[in-house]
Structure 1
């Protein structure tokens, strides 16, 4: 009986040693950094423009400032119906934008409204299909306050109204300066009007926000520096049409 008990104890000890000897330490899982969002404007390394991303500061804000954030409508002073469309914070706080859901976003509903008496911009030509598509895509992508740095070289040679300047005006200015009653009587879709204000010195003064000139775009920040440089080069060259 004693021998049997000793045998059982010895067997138990051997099993314990075997289990301990076979036990492996479980390695800690590797911790990897979250991949950086290439569209994040706070990232100094990957701050380039992605052609598949709609950037609020570059693509959306100019549309709103030029067409909607004007005196009597949705600028900082008027704030019609409490809506201000001069900057990202104001847009998100007052225009009922639902990130990822353009169909239930008041901003998108107003620019696609069928009734011209309800559609924004009120009393003006509707936004183009391209502009509406940009705003829809921006909301679908999360309605983020993104910007980007375009590292392409700024070309200021052979600058013409038709090929270079008119597209700039179309993006930033013609919401105010077009139609039958353009702001200040200046229709920037028409070459003669654009050339006239250019040769008078008022255009460069306005886009550079120089003292004594009404800054353009109205209610917004300056144009991108490359666009300002192109306008300056155009004026210096005598404001050629083609």
Structure 2
């Protein structure tokens, strides 16, 4: 009688251990992100650069508390840096259609990512992710010359804010109750002085991008010049 109890119990314990091992992901031995190569002095308009375009999008939209930051790691997925995005995001260089990261961005309903109440990626942002993967999912960046004198809303300001801030400040529950989705909502942040104070990381303001890479001095000056010139919708 005792043997009949012990054998099934041993089997059950083995199954439980196996299941536990399958769902725990050890990130301690992940490779350290490689040193960046010397940046290109000009940005190729036909190329997508990880540091410039991909990382800001994913960090602001996906690598947040409760989702895919280091502390939460929902479903074993962490999207905070190059290797974790590539490995846990199921990125297959050269094939966006087979890459989990891209496929979940195109789903609908309860399976879509980012999930409700967060705003989904725009078609342009999805295209950026797909193109980066199809071009080899490289760990690259460029430092194209930036001019503080270029600060039109459509060509300079909106792309900056959309790439670096929209993920947190859109959808049904925008961070801090602040929306940065279009000219009207961005202008509201200008009028209450929160936009410049946050991007410039001034005392008394919440630094933005949150947990991200600070905008370059030139980009911050572009935003300041745009605001000082009346923040036109141009």
Interval of TM-score (by shorter of Structure 1 and Structure 2): 0.7 to 0.9
Q: Distance in 2 between matches of 1:135 and 1:74?
A: 17
Match of 2:94 among 77, 96, 100: 100
Aligned to 1:216: 208
Q: Does 1:85 align with 2:79?
A: yes
1:143-187 CA-to-partner distances (Å, cap 9, x unmatched) read 111001102x41436x45556433322222122212343221111
1:60 to 49, 54, 59: 54
Q: Give the superposition deviation at 1:104.
A: 2.2
Please name the residue that 2:18 is paired with.
none
The residue that corresponds to 1:156 in the other structure is: 149
In structure 2, distance between residues paired with 1:190 and 1:50: 27
What do you get for the CA RMSD once the two structures are aligned? 2.5
Matches within 5 A, 1:118-133: 118-123=111-116, 124-133=118-127
Contact persistence 2:119–2:170 (CA under 8 A): no
Q: Does 1:73 align with 2:64?
A: no
Matched-pair contact (CA < 8 Å) for 2:37–2:140: no
Bigger shift: 140-149 or 73-82? 73-82
Who is 2:109 aligned against? 116
Within 5 Å, give how 1:27-46 maps onto structure 2: 42-43=37-38, 46=40
Q: CA deviation at 1:84?
A: 1.8
2:231 pairs with 1:231: no
Question: Are the equivalent residues in 2 in contact too, given 1:41–1:148 (CA < 8 A)?
Answer: no
Unaligned runs of 5+ in 2: 1-34
Q: TM-score, normalised by structure 1?
A: 0.71
Per the alignment, in what secondary structure is the counterpart of residue 184 of structure 1?
helix
Structure with larger Rg: 1
Match of 2:137 in 1: 143
Q: Which residue, 163, 175, 181 being the options, matches 1:171?
A: 163
The number of aligned residues is 199
Partners of 1:99 and 1:197 lie apart in 2 by 38
> Contact 2:165/2:180 (CA < 8 Å) preserved in 1?
yes
